[in-house]
Every structure is written in structure tokens, then in C-alpha cells.
A and B are shown apart, each in its own frame.
Chain A
């Protein structure tokens, strides 16, 4: 009898296992469903949209499931899911300048041209040309920009006043002099702080590069990060951090670490994206909330040339089976009404209407609004090399930044980086 029982158990186990496996394979539901799966990044924008979601759900009768992740984890998630052709992401928030080209090239992003152009109320022509350009791939609109970013100078009003300055520095040379003076007069406080991580620093360094008259790639498509201007920009940015940055400076800092040093009151100046300003002005997050000031990016030899870019956009996953409803979400979340609300909550938008509407910037600190309007006027449309392999390119062009911070030979480092960068450009042709 024992053998008999064993054979029955064995058979049933095998059947259960087989059933279990086949069930795993056919998990996804097909067709339009009432549940919309939206993947968003940790951002003030996302917090605002989540608060407004019930309104959208009531209007449409849809149920929205939000997955919210940090920037790096979001990238990894997309890499895994989109690579596998998974349909369980409908709407995705992505970085047009970081992943836009790669995703579009791989066919991950649905073509939104007809949907967007055919909708008068949505008004595609209301979007700023630069940002919309960044979400267009081979003449097809594949994303809708929702957040724009410009680099501005964060500074401490109290420290400047104490050092006898009546206004924030207007040029990079003035910035350096003021940083040196404040640092000398206030032990324990650094004159300047900014991102130092090889890849993380590239975007915030780009405004220095442009203001020195350089760029990553020239008009003919050649790598020019070893130009005289670029070398000077690398040396200036790295030198500023080495000489007037925090002691024992780490070369891994992204915005969160640099922002922490500034908001802990340990630095006088900080160059960073304006979209993060709430971290410095919110008393719950910042010890310097009442003394922080904002100024336009200081001018270099080529003038003040901060970047002005679309940092985040919404797109529809090409493999999604719920594309019609996904578009409804984008219509609403990137529509005029929500854009204005977001703008008032401190998230700089990509629609011209929200900037022209005085209500749009009514909640911004006055000096920040002024700085932004100057930056949008003379800003450069990119803050990193516009290639497919952005992550790799950032590491290459970021190496001279780190070498400048640690006091290595900047010129040699820029030459080496330029060679590697040119190779990457050639490979992509």
C-alpha cells in the first residue's frame, strides 16, 4: 500500500507543479482594463499628482495604481520590464535627456503624435519648443514634458551680508572671491558646494561649461570636451570645490548629499537645479530656510548660460494594452489645469501658458522667479551629451570633473576623456 500512496502523491505533486507553472505564464490580462498602472518617480510633482488623483478617478471611473520609485530604481525597473516587453506598465514617467533616445530607439515608447495633435484642448503648441523637441524622436511625439529645470545659484543671504556683500555674485570670478572670503571668515563653513559624483555632477557642471563658451559636442558632431574653454571650465568647477568646498570632500555626492550640506548650514553657495528649491526653503527639511536666496547662474567669459531642460516627461509603454486610458491620464496630468496647479506648488512646468500667467509664479520666492525667467531666456537646451548611451557618456565626460576636484592634471584628463568620448560618438553613428 505504501508504494501505491507514494505514486498518487507523486502524480498529484507533478500535476500541481505543472498547473502552477502554466498559471505563472499567463498572468497578464488582455484588452482595455479599468485599472491603469502608472510608474512615477519620487518628486514633488508626483506628490501633487497623487493628491489630485481622486478627482481623475471620479471623472473617468478608472482606478489608478501608482508605483513610485527613486530615480535609479526607476531606471532599473524600466530596464527589466521594458526589456521583457512587459505590459504591466501603462504610463511611465521618464527622463527625456537621460533615457529618451534609448527607449525610443528600442521601441518602448508609443507614438503619441496623433493623440496629442488631434486634441485642441490639450494644445500641444502650448508646450515650449525645446522640451517638446526632447520628447520627439524621428518626428514622432513619444513623450509629453511635464517638468523643466534650470540651474540657479542658491546662496545664504546672512553670510553674504556679514561679509559685506549687498548682492549675490554676478560672475563666476565674483563667486569664487566671495566663496573664499566667506570661508575664511566663518570657520567650519565651506564657501561653495555642488555635486561631485562623476556622473551626477555632469548636469550641474554643464552650465559652467556653457558659460565658459564650451560644450560637449560641437556643431559638426565632434567631441570637444578638451577644448581650451572646456579645460578652463573643468579646472574652475573642480578648483572651486577643492579650494573652497567642504573639507575631505567626497567624490560621490549627488544632489541629496550636496543639498544636505547646504541645508545644514555648512556652505555659503550652491549651484543646483531650481526644481529642488523646496528642499532648501522648507523649514522641515532645511536649517537655512529663512536665509536662503536665489540668483541667476553667474556669468562666465561667455556670459551666463545655464541649462534649461525638460527633466521629466510622461510616456505610454508601447506594450501596454491599455493605451487609450493611458492617454486619458496624460491628458489630465499634463493638461493645462494640472500644469498650472503644479507650477503654483513650485514645480516648473513646460507649458508657455503657465509661465505667462502671473498666477503661475505667484508662489515662488521673488528672487527665484526672477532667476528662472532670466535662465529660460538665455538657457541651453541640454545638460548632458545628447547620445543614446547617456549613462556611459556621463561617466566619461565626468571624469575630468572628479580629477579636477582631487587635484589631478585636468588638461591630461580632459584629453583622455575626449578621446574616449569621441570613440563613443563614433560607435553610435
Chain B
């Protein structure tokens, strides 16, 4: 059999293998596409469909197509929905701010080698490896207003007991504190990786020019590190928006009796698992999804613009 060097053929050259060779770009992508289709596209499309129906009680029960009525209802709900949006934004914004600033500080401290460096690193990374529900339970005990350690320690300094998670206005800040405690190490880790990959030369050049430590950080290190900072903000930001475990473990269903820590995720969970209102719940999730996509788009497009300059 003559072999054409440009189109190798299988021995016996069956129709199937010819077909497979011809369509190989689809065949190669098939596993990934099936995966994405089954686990991402289908659930998403189903959620969009549910959000346009009045599904309630049971997903298998008959439901009517109601168009955008759910969306109108949710967007005009100033009782639960909009406060939940505000809490989600506040939780993410404040937590992210502290995590990036503190994470940067920790990364800078760990940047230069020092004695006992390994132990310090391990200690700082401890919160990161703990599971969030366990973390939530732990802090719930520490912050218990009556038998918790936090108020006992405050007592030694003559400060009266604080309600912490039990307070109507202190619950959200307390959960933000827990989030910062747990996730700052991850931000520090990402930033540290970025720092170690930087070359020393610009820094040394600035030093020769007589720049002080702050100037070298602000005008040399930080701009060079900016892409890493954006990555850290993106990763942590998406995760913080979607926080559920810590809030659920510390305040339970509905985010507490006054919905003190009810973010969009907690609200959507309550709608489907407590109220069995699958239509409305899907609507909230779709809006939430759009909010996440939108904010990430804002962040990355600004970054791209900077890159282009």
C-alpha cells in the first residue's frame, strides 16, 4: 500500500477511523465539552428556566411559566433581597480590603529570609487549612457572650462583655473578622509568590538613588506586583461574595433571627431549602450570578486597560 506522507492512514483504513481523523478536533474536545455541558451548562440553563416559573413545594410538581414576574418581584423586594445585596457587598468589600492590606504586610514580612522562617510560615498558614465549618463553630464558642473566651479576655482589661455574633449590629462585623482571620493567609501566600518572582534589580536601583523603604514599596514593588494583586483580589473576591459556610455555621439558617448576616447566598439557600420556593430562589441566584460576573468583568477590564498602557 502506498503511503502518503502528508495524510497517514490506519492499516485497513476503516470508515470510522477516517471519520475520527477528520473530526479529531471535536473528538479531543469531547470529554471536556461533555463535562462542561453536564455540570455547568445544563444546571445553569435549568436554573434560568426555573427562574421563569412559579415552581414551589416540589420541583416535580406542575409549575407555570410566569415570564419575568419573579424578577420584578425580587428586584422590588426591599425587605429581604436588597438588604441581602447590601450585606453581600459590605461583607466582600470590607473583608477584601483587610485581607489584601494585611496579606500584603505579611507577605512583605516573609519576603526576606530570616531565622525560624519555616515555622512562622506554617503558623500563619494554619487558618487556611482548617475547614470553614469547623472554624465557624470554633469562633462561635470563642465569641459566646456568656461562656466564650473573647469576653473573658476583654474582662481582664476591664472591658465589659460584648454581644459579638449575638448582637444585631455586631454580627456582620464579627463574621467579617472571622473571614479575614481565615483567608488573609491565602492572599499573603499569593502575594508572596508574586514577590519572590520579582527581580531585585529595580529595588536595588531605587535604593542606590536614595529612595526610602516606603518609596521603594509604593513606587517600585507595588506597581510591579500589581498583576498578582489583581489575581489575589479576583480569587478572593469571588469566593468572598459566595461565602456560605462561615455564615451558616455561626448564625444558622436565614442569617440569624433578624437576618443579621443574610447575604445573597444565604438568602437563596433559605428560599429553596426552608421555603421550597424554587422559582424565586433561582431568580435570586441568576441575579447573584450576574452580579458576580459583572464585578469580575469590571475588575479585569480595568486591569487590561492598564496592561495596554
Enumerate chain A interface residues (CB-CB to B < 8 A): 1, 3-4, 6-7, 10-11, 13-14, 16-18, 21, 72, 75-76, 79, 82-85, 102, 105-108, 196-199, 246-252, 254, 260-261, 264, 266, 388-389, 391-392, 395, 398, 402, 406
CB contacts (< 8 Å) of A198 on chain B: these are: 254, 257
Interface centre among B9, B30, B275 (most CB of A within 10 A): B30
- Chain B residue at minimum C-beta to C-beta distance from A250: B166
Indicate which residue in A105, A251, A260, A402 contacts B57 across the interface (CB closer than 8 Å).
Answer: A105
- What 1/0 flags go to B12-39 for Cβ under 8 Å of A? 0000010011001001101100110010
Assembled-state Cα–Cα distance A103/B124 (Å):
48
Assembled-state Cα–Cα distance A410/B162 (Å):
25
**B27, A10: Cβ atoms under 8 Å?**
yes
**A252, B257: Cβ atoms under 8 Å?**
yes
**A247, B146: Cβ atoms under 8 Å?**
yes
- Chain A residue at minimum C-beta to C-beta distance from B17: A7
Assembled-state Cα–Cα distance A395/B258 (Å):
10
Having A4-B10, A79-B276, one finds 6 other A-B pairs with CB under 8 Å, namely: A75-B273, A83-B58, A106-B61, A107-B58, A250-B165, A392-B275
Assembled-state Cα–Cα distance A252/B164 (Å):
12
**A14, B146: Cβ atoms under 8 Å?**
no
Q: How far is the CB of A72 from chain B (nearest CB, A)?
A: 7
**B163, A248: Cβ atoms under 8 Å?**
yes
CB contacts (< 8 Å) of B34 on chain A: these are: 17-18, 21
Task: Judge whether B60 is part of the interface by a CB distance below 8 angstroms.
Answer: yes
CB contacts (< 8 Å) of A398 on chain B: these are: 257
**B60, A249: Cβ atoms under 8 Å?**
no
**B166, A249: Cβ atoms under 8 Å?**
yes
Enumerate chain B interface residues (CB-CB to A < 8 A): 8-10, 17, 20-21, 24, 27-28, 30-31, 34-35, 38, 57-61, 144-147, 151, 161-163, 165-168, 251-254, 256-258, 272-276
Assembled-state Cα–Cα distance A138/B31 (Å):
50
**B252, A10: Cβ atoms under 8 Å?**
no
CB contacts (< 8 Å) of A249 on chain B: these are: 145, 166
Q: How far is the CB of B149 from chain A (nearest CB, A)?
A: 15
**B28, A10: Cβ atoms under 8 Å?**
yes
Q: Is the interface of A mostly helix, strand, loop or mixed?
A: helix
Assembled-state Cα–Cα distance A208/B35 (Å):
55
Sampled A-B contacts (25; CB under 8 Å): A1-B8, A3-B21, A3-B24, A6-B28, A7-B20, A10-B27, A10-B28, A10-B30, A16-B31, A79-B276, A84-B59, A85-B60, A106-B57, A197-B257, A198-B254, A246-B146, A248-B146, A248-B162, A248-B167, A250-B145, A250-B166, A251-B166, A251-B258, A266-B146, A395-B254
Assembled-state Cα–Cα distance A3/B5 (Å):
12
Q: How far is the CB of B198 from chain A (nearest CB, A)?
A: 39
Indicate which residue in B24, B61, B168, B252 contacts A406 across the interface (CB closer than 8 Å).
Answer: B168
CB contacts (< 8 Å) of A392 on chain B: these are: 274-275
Known A-B contacts A76-B273, A197-B252, A391-B275; the reply to A10 vs B258 at CB < 8 A is no
Interface centre among A72, A196, A266 (most CB of B within 10 A): A72
Known A-B contacts A106-B58, A198-B257, A395-B254; the reply to A389 vs B28 at CB < 8 A is no
- Chain A residue at minimum C-beta to C-beta distance from B161: A248
Indicate which residue in A4, A14, A76, A248 contacts B166 across the interface (CB closer than 8 Å).
Answer: A248
Known A-B contacts A7-B21, A248-B161; the reply to A402 vs B257 at CB < 8 A is yes
Assembled-state Cα–Cα distance A402/B168 (Å):
11
CB contacts (< 8 Å) of B35 on chain A: these are: 17
**B161, A247: Cβ atoms under 8 Å?**
yes
Assembled-state Cα–Cα distance A328/B254 (Å):
39
CB contacts (< 8 Å) of A79 on chain B: these are: 272-273, 276
- Chain B residue at minimum C-beta to C-beta distance from A390: B274
**A7, B38: Cβ atoms under 8 Å?**
no
**A196, B257: Cβ atoms under 8 Å?**
yes
**B251, A252: Cβ atoms under 8 Å?**
yes
CB contacts (< 8 Å) of B146 on chain A: these are: 246-248, 261, 266
Q: How far is the CB of A10 from chain B (nearest CB, A)?
A: 4
Known A-B contacts A7-B27, A106-B57; the reply to A21 vs B38 at CB < 8 A is yes
Known A-B contacts A17-B34, A83-B59; the reply to A10 vs B256 at CB < 8 A is no
**B20, A4: Cβ atoms under 8 Å?**
no
- Chain A residue at minimum C-beta to C-beta distance from B143: A250
Q: How far is the CB of B92 from chain A (nearest CB, A)?
A: 23
**A7, B273: Cβ atoms under 8 Å?**
no
Assembled-state Cα–Cα distance A266/B61 (Å):
49
Q: How far is the CB of B165 from chain A (nearest CB, A)?
A: 7
Indicate which residue in A3, A247, A251 contacts B256 across the interface (CB closer than 8 Å).
Answer: A251
Q: How far is the CB of B265 from chain A (nearest CB, A)?
A: 15
CB contacts (< 8 Å) of A391 on chain B: these are: 274-275
CB contacts (< 8 Å) of A406 on chain B: these are: 168
CB contacts (< 8 Å) of A266 on chain B: these are: 146-147
Indicate which residue in B145, B165, B251 contacts A247 across the interface (CB closer than 8 Å).
Answer: B145
Q: How far is the CB of A181 from chain B (nearest CB, A)?
A: 21
CB contacts (< 8 Å) of A247 on chain B: these are: 145-146, 161
Q: How far is the CB of B273 from chain A (nearest CB, A)?
A: 5
Assembled-state Cα–Cα distance A248/B27 (Å):
64
Assembled-state Cα–Cα distance A389/B10 (Å):
65
CB contacts (< 8 Å) of B256 on chain A: these are: 251-252
Q: How far is the CB of A299 from chain B (nearest CB, A)?
A: 28
Q: How far is the CB of B36 from chain A (nearest CB, A)?
A: 12
Assembled-state Cα–Cα distance A388/B35 (Å):
38
CB contacts (< 8 Å) of B58 on chain A: these are: 82-83, 106-108
Assembled-state Cα–Cα distance A75/B146 (Å):
30
Assembled-state Cα–Cα distance A13/B20 (Å):
12
